[in-house]
Amino acid sequence: MSTSFHARLVNSPFADPALYLRFPYRGQAILFDCGEIHALTTRDLLKIQAVFISHCHIDHTIGLDHLLRNFLVQDRELKLFGPPGFIDQMQHRLAGYTWNLTRDYPLRIRVTEWGQRHHLECSFRAQNSFRQDSLREIPAPAPIYEDAFIRVTALALDHRDIPSMGYRLEEPQHLSIDKEALRHLGYSPGPWLSRLKEAILRNQEESLIEVALENGTSESRCAGALKSNLVRTRPGESLCYITDASPTEENRERILQLAREVDLLVIEACFPHAELERARKRHHLTAHLSGLWAREAGARRLLLFHHSRKFLALPDQLAIEAHTAFCPPK
């Protein structure tokens, strides 16, 4: 079965949080949190379209400077999303550098911060020395991000006295190409297939798509007809990202809401349940709670991270505890 995205932790579960989500058929990627990211190649980095930050502790954001350094001369818009106060934090971060030589640089950074009543959005441009401009409000509870292919919603989780954002990403529907039909019709795979999928997802089936043929030429075809002949549909895939949440009933309810029937739940598992009191004091989840809440939410798969380095000598302990709660022995 084809998949729309491949998710992988940039670092080990004991190192800085950063989840790299690659969309292979679109040549794009996004990040959830941006801790240390030097393990990503320049090619990996330049595929990133958007970064979703849970909160601004240093282990979740230290990689933003490395990302900016690689994007600086690109003619691109980099989209950043984060918790309340994120715009001010990015403004101060950018103001910590001197930008007197960037007036000819085309890079734009669009920053969106989540809010209960409305989201805030603004831009920072290299040509303007990354000074903040064009602040606007977006009505909530709209998705914090949406395009033809994906929708991302967010909820604020309590992490002591600050919010830590949990995110849910989902496709409106999953589209795949029937490769046998592609060969039978004499079509060659290529970027036109992504344009076809986008036209379908935007309900633009009357539009014309320039189709690459096996003989090296091309011809125009109606997106609706191509859909009937080539495209197979099924319910869209989904992913939920949860980290730095206090082990409270209020957070449990929000996590169950955000992770309901998700295909992949990526969730922190900091401490063993035997250290629940320590987890409460540090405002993190135990492995048992992560697995239990994943099961209660009906998540289909589980990916664990953000383990306390205290347990490096027992690298599988937290994963075993979480998976035991997620799939208890019969």
User: Taking 70 as the threshold, does the pLDDT of residue 8 lie above it?
Assistant: yes
Cβ 101 vs Cβ 134: under 8 Å: no
Rounded to 5°, the CA angle 242-246-251 comes to 65
Read off the tokens for 85: 């106060």
Cα–Cα distance measured from residue 31 to residue 48, given in angstroms and rounded to the nearest whole number: 7
- Average confidence (pLDDT) over 79-106: 97
Read off the tokens for 47: 């595929």
138: burial class by Cβ within 10 Å (0-12, 13-18, 19+)?
middle
| pLDDT at residue 27, as a whole number | 87
| pLDDT at residue 203, as a whole number | 84
Predicted TM-score (pTM) of the model is 0.91
* Tens digits of residue pLDDT in 315-326: 999 999 999 999
> pLDDT band for position 2 (50/70/90)?
low
CATH T-level assignment (fold) for domain 1-165: Metallo-beta-lactamase; Chain A (3.60.15)
Cβ 79 vs Cβ 108: under 8 Å: no
The one-letter code for the residue type at 217 is T
Cβ 73 vs Cβ 46: under 8 Å: no
Q: What is the 3-state secondary structure (H, E, C) of the chain?
A: CCCCCEEEECCCCCCCCCEEEEECCCCEEEEECCCCCCCCCHHHHHCEEEEECCCCCHHHHCCHHHHHHHHCCCCCEEEEEECCCHHHHHHHHHHCCCCCCCCCCCCEEEEEECCCCEEEEEEEEHHHCCCEEEEEEEECCCCCEECCCCEEEEEEEEECCEEEEEEEEECCCEEEECHHHHHHCCECCCCHHHHHHHHHHCCCCCCEEEEEECCCCEEEEEHHHHHHHHEEEECCCEEEEECCCCCCHHHHHHHHHHCCCCCEEEEECCECHHHHHHHHHHCCCEHHHHHHHHHHHCCCEEEEECCCHHHCCCCCHHHHHHHHHHCCCC
Rounded to 5°, the CA angle 268-301-169 comes to 75
Q: What percent of the chain stands above pLDDT 90? A: 75
- Average confidence (pLDDT) over 95-121: 96
User: Taking 80 as the threshold, does the pLDDT of residue 104 lie above it?
Assistant: yes
| pLDDT at residue 1, as a whole number | 46
- Average confidence (pLDDT) over 34-53: 98
Cα–Cα distance measured from residue 162 to residue 156, given in angstroms and rounded to the nearest whole number: 9
- φ/ψ of 265, rounded to 5, equals -105, 120
Cα–Cα distance measured from residue 37 to residue 326, given in angstroms and rounded to the nearest whole number: 29
Read off the tokens for 18: 């950063």
Rounded to 5°, the CA angle 155-156-160 comes to 155
> pLDDT band for position 330 (50/70/90)?
low
Ordered by start, the domain boundaries in the chain are 1-165, 174-234, 245-330
